Homo-oligomer: A and B are copies of this chain.
Amino acid sequence: MRTRPLKVALLGCGVVGSEVARIMTTHADDLAARVGAPVELAGVAVRRPDRVRQGIDPALVTADATALVKRGDIDVVVEVIGGIEPARTLITTAFEHGASVVSANKALLAQDGAALHAAAEEHGEDLYYEAAVAGAIPLIRPLRESLAGDKVNRVLGIVNGTTNFILDKMDSTGAGYQEALDEATALGYAEADPTADVEGFDAAAKAAILAGIAFHTRVRLDDVYREGMTEVTAADFASATRMGCTIKLLAICERAEDGGSVTARVHPAMIPLSHPLASVHGAYNAVFVESDAAGQLMFYGPGAGGAPTASAVLGDLVAVCRNRLNGATGPGESAYAALPVSPMGDVVTRYHISLDVADKPGVLAQVATVFAEHGVSIDTVRQQGRNQSGGDAVAIEQGGGRREGGEASLVVVTHRASDASLSGTVEALRKLDTVRGVASIMRVEGE
């Protein structure tokens, strides 16, 4: 074993960074044995260097992150600051000064992954970021390496723990969105400003990264269609239950059936209770991968938290250190396929649509005509009374049993149709006199 240590600079010492430092110290012998050389924490850049940090030598702490990455003796920079700047500049500076980088920064990777990969390659350095997607779950490495000889067709994942906690709570207790969010906040699963999670921004960044790796194609954050889950209601869960489904916020990356393009999207969707993702509870994450040869795979685990994220960071650190001792680099960006990314309108899936309609004869015929005119084929139609959302659905007897001039609820489940056709259908439905409102539109996935 080499005795000269590999030197690591840690940028950021919050929830994740402090765990990285702790494990590097307490498991130093294991890391050395696994790498083939000692791994030394050579510097820690933080915003407030005067704060006492347990287990970290104060002499290592600095406020000057730029000077740290420019030192020249650093082998690996671990970036756990998050956000776009100064992380981006620090990472490229690290490459320029002969260091490889391990990052947990999903926002930066989703926005500037291509440029960062190019900078790493230019300088012959590694860029690893297992921790950027789904925390501790090994996902980037299996996609980049284990499935390198296979053809991935779909990635379907629960990649945000906060929203899964909220939706799981709504499902199991019947709570509304706000009540479930309040509990998530009280328990520390949701931040004071939960926008990034509940509006799907966090999941969209991960979807961009996953789609890029899965399809060997650059997928930018702007390419990802995004819908949050703040409008999911208890009534939607009641509908889902009647369908034998639950509702999850999913990141979905798909290759088109003709193989010529890909799509990436984040939105709430119904999935059958029999689907493995339906059993992913609480703040856990899981990603379902479908490929030509391997078939269906699922990766499950904690998607966030200091220690789990640190586990992923340290796995990357060991790999990068080994590469360095070998004088080699790991796999870089693989974007050779360069498939076009199609807009949301091209996505084909099924839909569950709840309409508030006038309760009178002829309504179903009108509604069905609109679907037919837009080429959207109907699978089932059910009528529900306005105040029976928790009860069993009643097979429709058009107009039967309802007070003339009252309101009824019509639930339509479609066969597979493009998002553009469905949007056209909904627009036309809104114009019908007999349609008082479109209560909800939910995609149905994983069938």
CB of A251 closer than 8 Å to a CB of B: no
Taking a contact as CB atoms closer than 8 A, the residue among B19, B136, B293, B305 that contacts A136 in the complex is B293
Known contacts A322-B331, A328-B326; decide if A150 and B293 are in contact (CB<8 Å).
Answer: no
CB of A78, distance to nearest CB on chain B (Å): 11
Q: Which residue of chain B has its CB nearest to the CB of A34?
A: B148
Q: Which residue of chain B has its CB nearest to the CB of A319?
A: B145
Q: Which residue of chain B has its CB nearest to the CB of A318?
A: B148
CB of A271, distance to nearest CB on chain B (Å): 14
List the 7 closest pairs (A to B, CB-CB), nearest first: A149-B314, A138-B146, A136-B294, A293-B311, A328-B328, A294-B311, A138-B142
The size of the chain A interface, using a CB distance under 8 A, is 58
Known contacts A142-B141, A302-B296; decide if A33 and B315 are in contact (CB<8 Å).
Answer: no
A147-160 contact mask (Cβ, 8 Å, vs B): 1 or 0: 11111000000000
Known interface pairs A142-B142, A150-B314, A294-B311; 8 further A-B residue pairs with C-beta atoms within 8 A, sorted by A's residue number:
A30-B151, A138-B141, A138-B146, A145-B315, A146-B315, A279-B279, A293-B311, A323-B328
CB of A245 closer than 8 Å to a CB of B: no
A266-285 contact mask (Cβ, 8 Å, vs B): 1 or 0: 00000000001001000000
Taking a contact as CB atoms closer than 8 A, the residue among B31, B298, B317 that contacts A300 in the complex is B298
A119-154 contact mask (Cβ, 8 Å, vs B): 1 or 0: 000000000001000001110011001111111000
Known contacts A138-B142, A326-B328, A328-B327; decide if A293 and B279 are in contact (CB<8 Å).
Answer: no
CB of A226 closer than 8 Å to a CB of B: no
